[in-house]
Structure 1
């Protein structure tokens, strides 16, 4: 079984750093972005299909409704189109919420090379890599419009998922109960931890928007490549 902060976790962190460096030195062209998007789909789609086969199917786990799943979808769209809205979702979700998987992974399944291990880390790492590449490689910068769009979309997702979780007895997004051994343990019981998390996320997203809004920055305009 996978152990947080064990050998495989350390290898994942090392791979993350190495690939990040490589992405930042690649030519930031539209072709590069689209090849990146196609590679993400090619790697992750078979895993998603596998989770929906009868042998693995469970309505509480198999649907791509976690925020990390939606972040990956947004990342693919952003890589293919350089859409401001998709890029904003990738940036804010990918570099804060999705990044928590690397710092405090909730995954407790089989270790490498099991498909569940590869799927979990593939989703999270690809989203973070896309966010970094789009922001510092291509140069698409966040702004307050993207910040507001992400807040609205995230709030709508949370409301819908809480109702869905109640209907099917699931816990997508950890909205109805906390995962074991996560940073949410610091935020109190349900529903207090949701309110604390929402306040922290709103503040954190504002903080990671501000540095890009100087007079020398171009909000959501590619700085490199086409």
Structure 2
């Protein structure tokens, strides 16, 4: 099957990036205004339910018989899991879900924003475009709002929890790749569009590049995304 991709850094890509930056700034300011008041919980829960409904609708859209694409459209990418975890965390206030949203949403998810791989395998294409960008931007904006708007801070306990559950997603994605022949999580090979994985290929990590990627992620999670907050707390 042949299909087209969205061209990275095309006018529509740049427009989405600008929109995301503006939305993030507005929502952080709005969150600061309601932080610590009863409106904070209401805002979180309403947002969470809206996201949960939209995520369910998106799942139906991608798995609809006319749209089903085994190697590209099954819910095994990280963001597929993240949209439900984000919604659940906002609804329930479960800080374990917030932690996953923080570590996955701020570091891993932006790879799909800065270097997007968007093959138009579903119809209509504009719905896939809207869904792709909405959910990826939400996955980044929500944890930024939680930290810089509502004042939530990650701890070493949060880090240990996310580090312990992340391999579960990796195992599921790799298994799905073997069964379907897909490239979920980009563990089988690099995407056809430019990405950070290209650097690992240049360094000679063509077969096991994901090992280096996981190591770098662990370094950033500890040294940049956890330790400074713990140091400030002490």
TM-score, L = length of structure 1: 0.88
Deviation at 1:41, TM superposition (A): 2.7
Q: Does 1:210 align with 2:222?
A: no
- Among 36, 48, 51, the alignment partner of 2:59 is 48
Counterpart of 2:104 in structure 1 is: 93
Contiguous gaps of at least 5 residues in structure 2: none
In 1, the alpha carbon distance for the partners of 2:180 and 2:119 equals: 22
In 2, the alpha carbon distance for the partners of 1:184 and 1:215 equals: 33
- Among 119, 124, 133, the alignment partner of 2:145 is 133
Counterpart of 2:9 in structure 1 is: 5
Counterpart of 2:24 in structure 1 is: 20
Secondary structure at the counterpart of residue 114 of structure 1: helix
Contiguous gaps of at least 5 residues in structure 1: 218-226
Whether the 8 Å CA contact 1:78–1:84 is kept in 2: the answer is yes
Counterpart of 1:148 in structure 2 is: 160
After alignment, is 174-183 or 88-97 more displaced?
174-183
Q: Does 1:38 align with 2:55?
A: no
Whether the 8 Å CA contact 1:3–1:108 is kept in 2: the answer is no
Whether the 8 Å CA contact 1:178–1:184 is kept in 2: the answer is yes
After alignment, is 86-95 or 6-15 more displaced?
6-15
In 1, the alpha carbon distance for the partners of 2:232 and 2:12 equals: 43
**How many pairs align?**
216
Deviation at 1:182, TM superposition (A): 1.2
Instruction: Tell me the alpha carbon deviations over residues 97-151 of structure 1, each in whole angstroms, 9 at most, x when there is no partner.
Output: 10112211122438x9711111111110111111111122222111111111111
Instruction: Tell me the alpha carbon deviations over residues 2-31 of structure 1, each in whole angstroms, 9 at most, x when there is no partner.
Output: 221111111111111111112112223000
Whether the 8 Å CA contact 1:47–1:115 is kept in 2: the answer is no
In 2, the alpha carbon distance for the partners of 1:170 and 1:108 equals: 13
Counterpart of 1:184 in structure 2 is: 197
Secondary structure at the counterpart of residue 213 of structure 1: helix
Counterpart of 1:167 in structure 2 is: 179
Counterpart of 1:224 in structure 2 is: none
Whether the 8 Å CA contact 1:161–1:172 is kept in 2: the answer is yes
TM-score, L = length of structure 2: 0.85
Instruction: Tell me the alpha carbon deviations over residues 131-185 of structure 1, each in whole angstroms, 9 at most, x when there is no partner.
Output: 1111222221111111111112111221232122112212111111111221101
CA gap of 1:23–1:162, structure 2 versus 1, over 3 A, is same
CA gap of 1:174–1:215, structure 2 versus 1, over 3 A, is closer
Q: Supply the RMSD in Å over aligned alpha carbons.
A: 1.9
In 2, the alpha carbon distance for the partners of 1:42 and 1:156 equals: 25
